[in-house]
Structure 1
Amino acid sequence: MSSIRYPKMYQLFGAYLNEDSDLWGDTLPEIIFCYKRDCPRESHLELIREINSFISEHPEDLDTAFEIDYGPDFSPKLWGYTTTSFLEELKRLLS
């Protein structure tokens, strides 16, 4: 995972959306609720900025870029999302 370029994404995927995610909830909204509860509002906004930046940096290869950076540790498909729909849902839940 790219912890240097996207530290908030790294934090979310590494701490909340990992193999122990059931500690936070059973659904993505439940887990994001816990993230929002535990982290200051500025962190939510920074995470949204990181997601937007990641999307804009990979307009033609978003799936591949996401898998390279996060695939070994996290896959949106396991949650029933495509890469695009997952990132858009994260932004919606964080807003």
Structure 2
Amino acid sequence: MANDEFEFLRQMIGGYLHQDMDLEADSVPEAIAVFARHADAPMREGVVSDMQSFMQQYHNRAADEFAQRFGRDFTPDEIGQSVGEFFEMVNAILIDPDSYQQFL
């Protein structure tokens, strides 16, 4: 596993969905909205591209692969979502950060 593979996704998860997330946001959707408001367009586009690549490569074992790569910070099952559902939510919030409220 290359260190720079899914780097944009890694930066979002590690920077905003870490164990101290509650100091900045009350929920995972809100933390993603905070990220979306602070990230520039290339960063947001990089996250979208990483999510698409991740699902193309690991669609048959997305949960296991996600947990292996990012589980120290966060896994979608913590909020009752599959990886695909989580990525759909992230995509929607990246487009419109205020939409995070519909995911609470």
Do they fold alike, i.e. is TM over 0.5?
A: yes
Q: 1:26 to 1:3 in 2, by over 3 A?
A: farther
Would the aligned equivalents of 1:9 and 1:47 in 2 still touch at CA under 8 Å? yes
Q: What is the Cα deviation at residue 3 of structure 1? A: 4.3
Q: 1:80 to 1:2 in 2, by over 3 A?
A: farther
Please identify which structure carries the higher helix content: 2
Q: So what's the TM-score if we normalise by structure 1? A: 0.86
Q: So what's the TM-score if we normalise by structure 2? A: 0.79
Q: What is the Cα deviation at residue 28 of structure 1? A: 2.5
Partner of 2:14: 14
Q: 1:35 to 1:43 in 2, by over 3 A?
A: same
Q: Deviations over 1:30-84 (max 9, x none)?
A: 2122112221122111100100000001121111211221123321121221222
Q: What is the Cα deviation at residue 88 of structure 1? A: 1.5
Q: What 5-or-longer segments of structure 1 have no aligned partner?
A: none
Q: Which runs of 4+ in 1 moved over 2 A?
A: none
Partner of 2:100: none
Q: CA RMSD in A?
A: 1.8
Q: What 5-or-longer segments of structure 2 have no aligned partner?
A: 96-104
Would the aligned equivalents of 1:3 and 1:10 in 2 still touch at CA under 8 Å? no
Identity of aligned residues (%): 25
